Each structure stands twice: as structure tokens, then as C-alpha cells.
């Protein structure tokens, strides 16, 4: 499955946030008995109001939300691209993830020292981006002589060489390839770090959570990447509380949803994922697919045999199902569509697959 790497300078609240993620993973694991959870992996359920409504119609025994996997990637320090700290391990680990989540310190606490002196989010983002950019420049520098040689005898390789040279210019200007919106088609083979989608977690003081001006200022620094605002200390408390107590604590700091839930939602979006839904008496479940996935590909997420033996799918949009009130009613008003192997799934499709096994 796809994963998001969490990175950040020391003392920004990364471990605090990650512990909250791990607790949340253990809670989810109860519903996914076959999930093995590693110490550096945290999994969060993607909040989805539709699931409870669907479970009611089908009288489902349980609800299984979509999940997002976060991997704790330790060792980001200034000079990581030159092997400082555990730099090489850090770069190898981050290369394996599908998106990069930067945790940025905004909270002030005289007892928690900042590695670079004072709290300055803009500078910290630049420090992290610089390390990633330098690592990519090294990768490209190393690849270019080989690409030049290949391009001499193979016209197809010329496009890759030119894309690599163009990417080098972008990076040399201090911009990540993601922020620059660089066309990545010919660059995939280089596995560049700054080509991955980025998202940002700003770790605020509790009283800053409602500071709209501050939030707008921070959002502007990282645009077009998405930003999540939370207080890691509060998140670590929330995972210990009952739903009711958690809501009370959130409301006391002017929030309606936990930071982890927001992070799951934004992470899901950043990875380019969407869900379709299945429901029955046993369970109501959200399944994760890439945007643009076809019906057989969606079936393959449940079981590879379902993709191979795909015949057709009965699809009702969530909105149509709610309006009709039941599957039978939706069928009788023609809202249950039979779709074939070329159907492109839409978010919130409620699906029943027919297949040969
Ligand atoms: P890491 O080095 O980035 O993993 O940072 P830690 O999670 O270990 O946090 C470093 C210190 O900052 C710890 O003493 C945390 O309790 C504290 N800390 C983390 N998040 C917050 C926060 O949101 N507010 C405040 N005041 N302290 C925090």
C-alpha cells in the first residue's frame, strides 16, 4: 500500500505526533486482524461520515474505514544530503515512500530548544527542502553522463536526458519539483525525492489553533502543498480519551476534528487516492483505489481473483442510495447501474461485483 514519510528537524514534536499515530494504529488493528504493524509505522483511519449511514441501511456488524499509512523517517538534520547524522539511511528510507510529510515547529517552549536557535517555520522548511533538493541534484549529476552516452545511440533516451537537465535547473533555483509542477513522465526512473507530493503539519501551541491569520501565513509559505494545523501534545492526549471526552477537549481549543483525522484526509488526497464502498450485514467498508481506477482494478483491491474473473459491477452512487433509502428502492427507480470493465470508478460508488472464480 502507499505510504507517507514523516520527516522533521529534531525537537519539532515529531515523536509526540508519531506516538499518537501509533496508538491510533493499534486501535485500528483490532478491526484489521491480519495487519502487521511495525514500530515505525502509524496508520490512521480516514474519517468518512458516509460509512455510518451506509452501515445503518445494511445493518452492518462493523465499519472499516480506508487507511493511510505513515512511516517515521528519522535522521533529518542539516547536511543529511552529505551523509551527516544518519543521512544516507534517511535518504534511502524516504525514497521508499509515496509522499513526504514535513512536521514544522511553530509552538514556543523555552524548555524545548530549537536546533537552529529560534522558532522560524519558513527557515525550517527551507532547511529541509534544501537537503532534499541537494540529494536530487546529486542523483541527477550522477545520472547525466550515463544518459548522455545512451542518448547518442538511442533517440528515446534523449527525452530523459533533456528532462533531467531541465529538472536540474529547477532544483538549482531552489524549488522542489513538486512545487514547480515539473512534468515527471521522463524522470520516474530517477526516483527523485522532491518529485513526490509534499504536505505539511504545523505543530502549533493550543491557543494558536484558532489564529486564522497565522494559519493563512503558514499556508501561503507551502502552497500549492496542503497544510494541517495541530497541537501534537493535544493529539497525544486525544488518543487516550473516549470519543466524548475527546470531543470536549477539541471543542475547548476551538476545533471540531482531531489533527490526526485531518492529516489522514489530507494525506489521502495528496496521494491521489479515492474510495469506493461495499456494504452488507458483515461489514461496511471503504476500499482505497487510485483516482481513475477502472471497475476491474477496484475489484482487484478486494482480491486479485476478483480482477481476473471480473464480469460486471452493480454501482449505486452514495447520494442516490441515500435518496432511495434502500438498494431495492434504488434499483426500482433505475439508480442501480450495471457497469462493465471500462467503467472508471467515482468516489463514493457503492458497489457489488459479479465475477467468475
Ligand atoms: P522530535 O525530536 O521532533 O521527535 O520532538 P518530540 O516529539 O520528542 O518533542 C520534543 C519536545 O517538545 C518534547 O518535550 C515534547 O513534549 C515537546 N512538544 C512536542 N510537541 C509540542 C507542542 O505541540 N507543544 C509544546 N509546548 N511542546 C511540545
Judge whether 12 is annotated as a binding position: yes
Asked whether residue 175 is marked as a ligand-binding residue, the answer is no
Q: Which CATH superfamily is domain 292-355 in?
A: Beta-grasp domain (3.10.20.30)
C-beta separation of 193 from 95 below 8 A: yes
15 is in an annotated binding site: yes
Each residue's pLDDT tens digit, 89-129? 888 889 999 999 999 999 998 888 777 777 899 999 999 99
Residue 69 has pLDDT above 70, yes or no: yes
Q: Give the Cα separation of 355 and 337 in Å (integer).
A: 16
What CA–CA distance (Å, rounded) separates 198 from 136? 15
> In this predicted complex, what is the ipTM?
0.96
Is 11 within any annotated ligand binding site? Answer: yes
Q: With cut-offs at 50, 70 and 90, classify the pLDDT of residue 26.
A: low
Chain centroid to Cα 55, Å, comes to 26
SS3 sequence of 187-223: CHHHCCHHHCCEEEEEECCHHHCCCHHHHHHHHHHHC
- Collect all residues with Cβ–Cβ distance below 8 Å to 328 and sequence separation of at least 6: none
Report CA(51)–ligand 1 centroid distance (Å).
Answer: 34
E-only strand ranges, the chain: 3-7, 41-45, 62-64, 67-72, 99-105, 198-203, 226-230, 273-279, 283-290, 310-317, 337-339, 349-355
pLDDT digits (tens, 9 = 90+) for 342-351: 999 999 999 9
User: Is the C-beta atom of 115 inside 6 A of ligand 1?
Assistant: no
Instruction: Output the CA 5–ligand 1 centroid distance in Å.
Output: 19
Mean pLDDT of 37-45: 78
5 labelled binding-site residue: no
Between the CA of 262 and the centroid of ligand 1 the distance, in Å, is 20
| Predicted confidence band of residue 35 (pLDDT cuts 50, 70, 90) | low
As a whole number, mean pLDDT of residues 35-62 equals: 86
Of 14-28, 245-259, 302-316, give the lowest mean pLDDT range. Answer: 14-28
Cell digits for 299?
A: 475489484
Choose among 239, 260, 268: nearest CA to 68: 268
Q: Kindly report the number of other CB atoms within 10 A of residue 266's CB atom.
A: 21
User: Is the C-beta atom of 319 inside 6 A of ligand 1?
Assistant: no
Question: How would DSSP label each residue in 92-125?
Answer: HHHHTSSEEEEEEE----TTS-BTTBS--HHHHH
Q: For residue 107, which atom of ligand 1 is closest to its CA? A: 24
Our answer on whether the CB atom of 241 is closer than 6 Å to any ligand 1 atom is: no
Residue 210: partners with Cβ closer than 8 Å, 6 or more residues away:
253, 254
Q: What digits encode the pLDDT tens for the residues 242-253? A: 999 999 999 999
Cell of 55: 452501515
Find the 12 Cα to ligand 1 centroid distance in Å: 6
pLDDT in tens, 147-163: 999 999 988 899 999 99
Residue 298 Cα to ligand 1 midpoint, Å, equals 40
Q: How far apart are CA 81 and CA 103, in angstroms?
A: 18
What's the mean pLDDT when you consider all of the chain? 91
Average pLDDT of 52-65?
95
For residues 236-261, b (16+ Cβ closer than 10 Å) or e, as one string?
bebbeeeeeebbeebeebebeebbbb
Strands 198-203 and 99-105, by their bridges, are: parallel
Does the beta carbon of 19 sit less than 6 angstroms from any atom of ligand 1? no
pLDDT higher at 29 or 202:
202
Residue 158 assigned as binding residue: no
Ligand 1 centroid to Cα of residue 110, in Å, is 12
- Residue of the nearest CA to atom 9 in ligand 1? 13
Instruction: For the chain, give the number of residues.
Output: 357
User: Contact at 8 Å (CB) between 263 and 23?
Assistant: no
Nearest CA to ligand 1 atom 26: 109
Amino acid at each position: 500500500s502507499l505510504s507517507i514519510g514523516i520527516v522533521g528537524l529534531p525537537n519539532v514534536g515529531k515523536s509526540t505526533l508519531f506516538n499518537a499515530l501509533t496508538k491510533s494504529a493499534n486501535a485500528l488493528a483490532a478491526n484489521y486482524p491480519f495487519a502487521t504493524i511495525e514500530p515505525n509505522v502509524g496508520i490512521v483511519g480516514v474519517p468518512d461520515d458516509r460509512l455510518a449511514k451506509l452501515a445503518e441501511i445494511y445493518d452492518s456488524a462493523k465499519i472499516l474505514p480506508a487507511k493511510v499509512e505513515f512511516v517515521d523517517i528519522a535522521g533529518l538534520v542539516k547536511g543529511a544530503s552529505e551523509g551527516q547524522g544518519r543521512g544516507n539511511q534517511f535518504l534511502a528510507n524516504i525514497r521508499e515512500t509515496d509522499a513526504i510529510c514535513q512536521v514544522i515547529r511553530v509552538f514556543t517552549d523555552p524548555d524545548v530548544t530549537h536546533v537552529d536557535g529560534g522558532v522560524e517555520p519558513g527557515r525550517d522548511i527551507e532547511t529541509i527542502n534544501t537537503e532534499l533538493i541537494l540529494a536530487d541534484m546529486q542523483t541527477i549529476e550522477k545520472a547525466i553522463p550515463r544518459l548522455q552516452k545512451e542518448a547518442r545511440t538511442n533517440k528515446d533516451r534523449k527525452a530523459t536526458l533533456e528532462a533531467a537537465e531541465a529538472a536540474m535547473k529547477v532544483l538549482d533555483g531552489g524549488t522542489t519539483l513538486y512545487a514547480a509542477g515539473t512534468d515527471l513522465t521522463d524522470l520516474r526512473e530517477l526516483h527523485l525525492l522532491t518529485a513526490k507530493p509534499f504536505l505539511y503539519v504545523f505543530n502549533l501551541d493550543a491557543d494558536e489553533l484558532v489564529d486564522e491569520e497565522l494559519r493563512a501565513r503558514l499556508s501561503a509559505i507551502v502552497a500549492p502543498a496542503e497544510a494541517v494545523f495541530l497541537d501534537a501534545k493535544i493529539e497525544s492526549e486525544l488518543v487516550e480519551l473516549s470519543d466524548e471526552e475527546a470531543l470536549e477537549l477539541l471543542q475547548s481549543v476551538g476545533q471540531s476534528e482531531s489533527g490526526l483525522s485531518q492529516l489522514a484526509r489530507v494525506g489521502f488526497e495528496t496521494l491521489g487516492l479515492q474510495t469506493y464502498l461495499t456494504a452488507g450485514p458483515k461489514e461496511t467498508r471503504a476500499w482505497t483505489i487510485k483516482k481513475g481506477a477502472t471497475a476491474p482494478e477496484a475489484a482487484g483491491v478486494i482480491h486479485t481473483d476478483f480482477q481476473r474473473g471480473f464480469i460486471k459491477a452493480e454501482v449505486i452512487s452514495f447520494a442516490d442510495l441515500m435518496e432511495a433509502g434502500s438498494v431495492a428502492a434504488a434499483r426500482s427507480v433505475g439508480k442501480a447501474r450495471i457497469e462493465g470493465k471500462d467503467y472508471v470508478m467515482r468516489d463514493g460508488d457503492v458497489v457489488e461485483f459479479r465475477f467468475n472464480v
